[in-house]
Structure 1
Amino acid sequence: MTRPPDAVLFDFSGTLFRLEEDESWFADLRVGDDEEIDGHYQAELMRRLTQPVGATVTLDDEGHRAWERRDLDPAMHRAAYLAVLAASGVHRPEHAEALYGRVVDPDSWTPYPDTARVLRGLADRGIPVAIVSNIAFDLRPAFARLGVDGAVTSFVLSYEVGAIKPDPDIFRAALGDLGVPAEHSLMVGDSEEADGGARAVGAAFGLVDPLPTVDRPTALLDVLAAHGLDLR
């Protein structure tokens, strides 16, 4: 792309927000033979619950079917992640349900330090924004809580549009909502496989690392600047 983009598409998880555990989530959690879990295992559970692509555990046929459709159907999403937790040693249903409830609660998600600045900066410049996410719950309240929902032109969520990244249809849906040609747009995300699929429709792509929020203060600002949009 030889000029700054006329529109920006953003992934949600690991890009604008991150699911970061609170110790209280695991206070009563037990795995295996009623064992408490340590910080390392907590981190591994969170990785398995947020990894954008690829199965994180071995599932039976029913669990695998749910996993394949998890971002198209809220019921399949719940079944898939409860199966992942069970396969990870979380055998008590009440513990698995409580932890899964955190995943689908928009209030559980932490914004990256530059998320609000970037979204407001783009809105101030009249640059439309779409959130393009493989997800099976409504994430709009997370943006409302941050006070930036008005800076988002369109939310294009896989379970609402019936397409999952990297399927070109989900990117086309977002670009159609924004009214911007693909070649004049930029997709920003943390997955080469899923978010990088925007290249197939002609969009540019910028990769960010899904680090903990405290370790990634300016990645969004940096990737936009690298594509000609300096909001710093």
Structure 2
Amino acid sequence: MRNQSDASPIEAVVFDFSGTLFRLEEDASWFETVTHSDGTPVDGHRAAELMRRMTAPVGEVVEFDEVSRHAWRNRDLDPALHRQAYLHVLRESGVSDRAQAESVYGRVIDPSCWTPYPDTADALAMLASRAIPVAVLSNIAFDIRPAFDMLGVGDYVSEFVLSYEVGYIKPQPEIFLSAVRSLGVDPARTLMVGDSEEADGAARAIGCSFALVDPIATGERPTALLDALASSGIR
């Protein structure tokens, strides 16, 4: 966390998307017709585990061969590889029916299926009221802008820096440089907020400060974004 006593004032904020501003939370209706390869239905516990595997920011969540591992490691740079990687994850997780897997995957890439954290709109509106520019930086292979428009906060985001559009992924420094350059700000005066120490915390390598939030259920994390901003002197 940022040490305010010996830090420059924050002039811009970069947010991660998944697990930070929005979260993919399972809906029971998504799995009503989905079964495992043994014919058993996907119950609440199994649905939660599937969502964990589909949203893990780093690491390998199932077994991969050479081809599927290439797709997994490069999934956020190419929509085709993203689809290939996640259909493999679903298949390895027991969802062997192709149509069922496609249905679940369709939810993952549908911005309307992502739930905002309770303070997402308030945090973005507060930054806009203080004329502090915001970028959303995400390792992702589909367009998340509609999620912000549906929440009514699209105009509060100055730049979207999406890996499949810029050709870099976290923790590569180039993607963070792309964000600060797009905002026209000094990294030393930029706060990165994210849910992964490994991926998002890498912003420190270019001089940004970093605030970590917990990617828990949205109902269990009402003020983490506002608290992170306040800890960096933005209230």
Report the TM-score when normalising by structure 2: 0.97
- Structure 2: distance between partners of 1:222 and 1:72: 32
Aligned 1:1-232 pairs, distance under 5 A: 2-230=7-235
- Structure 2: distance between partners of 1:198 and 1:3: 16
Report SS of the residue matched to 2:76.
coil
Report SS of the residue matched to 1:131.
strand
* Runs of 4+, deviation exceeding 2 Å: 1-4
Unmatched runs of 5 consecutive residues or more in structure 1: none
Q: Number of matched residues?
A: 230
Which amino acid letter does the alignment assign opposite residue 185 of structure 2? V
Which amino acid letter does the alignment assign opposite residue 164 of structure 2? Y
- Structure 2: distance between partners of 1:82 and 1:12: 22
Report SS of the residue matched to 2:75.
coil
Report SS of the residue matched to 1:209.
coil
* Percent identity of equivalent pairs: 61
Contact kept in structure 1, 2:12 and 2:185, CA below 8 Å: yes
TM-aligned CA deviation for residue 195 of structure 1: 0.2
Which amino acid letter does the alignment assign opposite residue 73 of structure 1? D
Contact kept in structure 2, 1:156 and 1:173, CA below 8 Å: yes
Contact kept in structure 1, 2:37 and 2:97, CA below 8 Å: no
TM-aligned CA deviation for residue 33 of structure 1: 1.4
Contact kept in structure 2, 1:3 and 1:228, CA below 8 Å: no
Contact kept in structure 2, 1:78 and 1:100, CA below 8 Å: yes
TM-aligned CA deviation for residue 177 of structure 1: 0.6
TM-aligned CA deviation for residue 40 of structure 1: 1.0
Cα RMSD of the aligned pairs, angstroms, is 0.7
TM-aligned CA deviation for residue 4 of structure 1: 3.2
- Structure 2: distance between partners of 1:92 and 1:60: 20
- Structure 2: distance between partners of 1:185 and 1:208: 17
Contact kept in structure 1, 2:8 and 2:188, CA below 8 Å: no
- Structure 2: distance between partners of 1:39 and 1:111: 21
Unmatched runs of 5 consecutive residues or more in structure 2: none
Which amino acid letter does the alignment assign opposite residue 135 of structure 1? I
TM-aligned CA deviation for residue 61 of structure 1: 1.4
- Structure 2: distance between partners of 1:223 and 1:212: 17
